[in-house]
Amino acid sequence: MYSPLSSPGRTQSDIAHEVAHLLLGHEVNTVKRIGDLSFYTCNPDEEQEATWLAGCLLLPRPLLLRAARQRMDSEAISEAFEVSEQMAAFRLRTTGVAQQVSAERAKH
């Protein structure tokens, strides 16, 4: 689920997260209601899987590597690929791209 009040980058992440649930074949465990809104939940492990896959779909490692080698930081990546800056920073860290590019630069 996504909020129309969210930034475009956040909306991209939210939609990719929900698509990841579908791709992974996750099933809804419960439906929770808060006021007029319904929220569908999966187990915590499935939420983590969907979050990880969403990041992979939005910012694949080869794309990140190319961007980092072009000296793009998380802010530039977020703007260029219309994702949240938090997602860009998360992917740079967790994929090891930031460390890899730093090591490459240190060699030269």
- Whether 108 is covered by a domain: the verdict is no
Length of the chain in terms of residues written: 108
C-alpha 46/C-alpha 54 separation (Å) is 12
pTM: 0.78
40-94 pLDDT, tens digit per residue, is 677 889 999 999 999 999 999 999 999 999 999 999 999 999 998 999 999 999 9
Residues 32 and 67 in one domain: no
Assess whether 47 and 80 both reside in one domain: no
Residues 54 and 89 in one domain: no
| 1 pLDDT more than 60 | no
Same structural domain, 32 and 8: yes
* Residues spanned by the domain of 80: 59-103
**Total count of domains within the chain:** 2
92 falls within a domain: yes
**Claim to verify: residue 51 and residue 36 sit in the same structural domain:** yes
Alpha-carbon gap, residue 101 to 69, rounded angstroms: 6
